[in-house]
Structure 1
Amino acid sequence: MKWQNALIDYQHYLKIERGLSQNSIENYSYDIKKLTNYLNDNSISKNPITIDNDTIKEFIYFISKSINPRSQARLISGLRNFFDYLIFENYRTTNPLDLIESPKIGRKLPDTLSVEDIDLLINTIDLSYQYQGINLGERNRAIIETLYSCGLRVSELIELKISDLFFDEGFIKVTGKGDKQRFVPIGVNTQKFINIWRNIRNQIQVQPDSKDVLFLNYKGKKLTRAMVFTIIKKLVEKSGLKKNVSPHTFRHSFATHLLENGADLRAIQMMLGHESITTTEIYMHVDRSHLSDVLNKFHPRK
């Protein structure tokens, strides 16, 4: 079908022209799949090339019943971009979402953990835990320490390679969104925990496509995003911590604690790999008392 060819072209555009990660491309594609599923389920004889404004309105109304306003806004934005692409490539002449407004949402502040929370989670890890003769407790500690001390995204963590470790220089090389690379400082303690895991890793029969991957499962394969989420979920439950914690929570906590301790926002931006300083500025909310302390300490007319 013509529109399916358009979807394939759009995915190539996202990868080559916009430099998006495979995960981001899959998210955009999933939005389009939601729309086509809706059309098929309701026996609507239209596709993304022929769909009109009224049908899009009905779809948005339908989808709003099952997703929150933030997810709804993201879906509308993704579909709007897709239809803009179809116009640019002459698949259609109008964007059916031009007159549709996204729901108004407040800016979501990131969840963070305190230093005490971090210590609790790390101290809860059973360092003697083994599976199939492989000590995965030490691996899990290295994972948590790396997420927190380097501020990595979960996708960056599972793609981290042994050849990306420059411990003599005190840095690791991280491949972020759009395959953009950056160097992030890494502390001595985190290096120590990673080296402990590397010694254990040497005991695993590593799969050919994971020879250079740092964090593996007991089968010698690269960890999945879902597995990292599961490790953290079980750890939080075991610790008794009553907070909603995900891999990204450690990244937020990394940035928050740096800012609270006086780090420069531009430096935090570079370590997080944010393309725009505006993205990093969300952390300015974190501790109003800290901002007051800065004012009292440095303003000439305090």
Structure 2
Amino acid sequence: MELTTVIEINMIVGRLSHQCDILFRVIDIMEINGQKVAILYGEDYRLEADAPIDDLVPINDLERTKRTSQVRTLEEQSFELFRQDIDLLRLEQEFNATSGYKRDFNYFQVPGRVLHLDGDPTYLQKCLDLYERLGVSVVGIHCNEKEMHLRVGSLIEQYRPDILVITGHDAYSKTKGKKIDLNAYRHSKYFVETVKEARKKVPNLDQLVVFAGACQSHFESLIYAGANFASSPLRVNIHALDPVYIVSKISFTPFMERINVWDVLRNTLTGEKGLGGIETKGVLRTGAPFKPIIDE
């Protein structure tokens, strides 16, 4: 008698129908039309999916470690490239603030403040860890994608961010409509409503820089709603950490400089297939003089 593997919540699985191309966490199991269906979140990609239980296979520790190691290597490569970009930006600011090193380093800098709304608490923590490594000031809020538009206004008033991230999980389903149809997406319409609510508070694109979207999100609707950067132009999956790289670049770019869209996308893990945006000013501000307070 053949034994059937039991699929449980929090188990790491792959979909047989997709050759286990993406690793998922089982978030919930429910019965739909007499069939058991699992709700899945991508382990490394901001993709939400559902699949029949009999289409799922558990991923053993050895395979998971192998796949995870490959992704972490790409993450580190991307991190190093972004850190180099940020270091170069700091050197340029140092040069300008000291008139070509003719004056003392008597200045200070105020990077942009980030408010990051995320539908996945696990991804949120990964993002917060990366923000810390990059030295970005951030407030992270876990919020269900369907509730973000109800909360974003009061959160903007409370935290007064320079940059707003609206992300979580998403997916396009061709059985629900064409790619131009916003209702064919799992959460895009909620992201769009959240962007619109944010723009009611801060209409100016340079006073509040907005990144919005997740895997396969309706890019055009997000941009037209008021996002500066969004996913996904070709409806591909985006990496969990891609929003962090984009807003970190913006946070450390001087507010007198405009960000080249290609320049900000080139070191992300997903690139221009999954991410895009419009010309945007940086938010870093330099001040002087810097006088440390010494207790007498």
TM-score range, shorter chain: under 0.3
Q: Specify which structure has the higher proportion of helix.
A: 1
TM-score, normalised by the number of residues in structure 2: 0.24
Q: TM-score, normalised by structure 1?
A: 0.23
**Structure 1 or 2: larger strand share?**
2
